[in-house]
Structure 1
Amino acid sequence: MQLGLDDEEFIRGRVPMTKQEIRILTLAKARITPEDIIYDIGAGTGSLSIEAARLAEKGHVYALERRQEAAQLIEANREHFSVSNLSIIMTEAPAELEELPLADVILIGGSGGHLTEIFEAAGEKLRSGGRIVLNCITVQTLSAALQYLHDHEDRYRYDAVEVQVSRLRRVGPYDMAQAQNPICIITCVKEA
């Protein structure tokens, strides 16, 4: 299965999308297997959901999204990529997590300011040895995540990497690096 679909392949709107390079790293950190059950919390356009569903071909992905426009984009991308093992749940997490089956992997792309509550609910739904992969765009999200993990070091072991991607852009006869937003990817493994 091809990993790292081109950004241009996705149907886009005004909803933020996890870009190809970050998707590849996030999915590598998630270590998705074909049978995994995955939640994608704050799924946005569904780019991670689509790629996760393609990797977990015998498993299932639950894309949780609170914004109607984003949920419609996820639906459009699900149809565009002919992905059948992806369910879209219109909700503001952590609501409705308790209704889902136990997860092997939980991706968190957006928390709507409810990161602590999401971590608490996700911890109850994550299998032992399961992984949470959190993409932090803001310093506040990074700070809140690290504080939670420090306070719960008996529950998770984690690592974090900050990624800065630049893409070359033509400027006349020259090529110039155009920096993308830095992202901190935190990978948490639930202890037995």
Structure 2
Amino acid sequence: MNALLISTGVVALAEMGDKTQLLAFLLAARFKKPLPIILGIICATLLNHALAGALGAWVTTQVSPEILRWVLGISFIAMAIWIMIPDKLDDEQADYSQKFGVFGVTCIAFFLAEMGDKTQIATVAMAARFDQPILVIIGTTLGMLIANVPAVFLGEKFAQKIPMKVVHTIAAAIFFLLGIFTLFKGDQLFS
């Protein structure tokens, strides 16, 4: 259950002000059709995070517990630092052909925007850390929805009312604590 709750909370916080949240605002303003946008977000996130979760689960079978502990601990601390760097939306990612429709455009744009993004890398690390990839995938997907569905419905007004610096600092602190805990209590977690 910790895998689900931590994955959900960390990703929801990490996504605040992220490029995919900005993409959700953009798509909502452009198409004004929330249901296909939300379904596209769900589809893209599940696919992307399932791949990341599978990679995280596979890594645990290939790397010794001691090496895994150090890689994960350092990865979580690196994620804490990365979260403090604000994202900007790449205009090209939101400029897909109309032939795919609202759902297709959302699905493609979100999948591509998440490739190599903080939350994808966090999904790999958390799937390896918790050794419960299904719960991590469900949690990270819920976290994405918690951050992005309100963006679809409330648009830019929502973003203006949230102090992004505070949200990013909280998410960074959680990743940092996960890193420290993994490094110093990892012998109990990975043995």
Regarding TM over 0.5, the answer is no
Normalising by structure 1, we get a TM-score of 0.24
- Greater strand percent: which structure? 1
- Greater helix percent: which structure? 2
Normalising by structure 2, we get a TM-score of 0.24
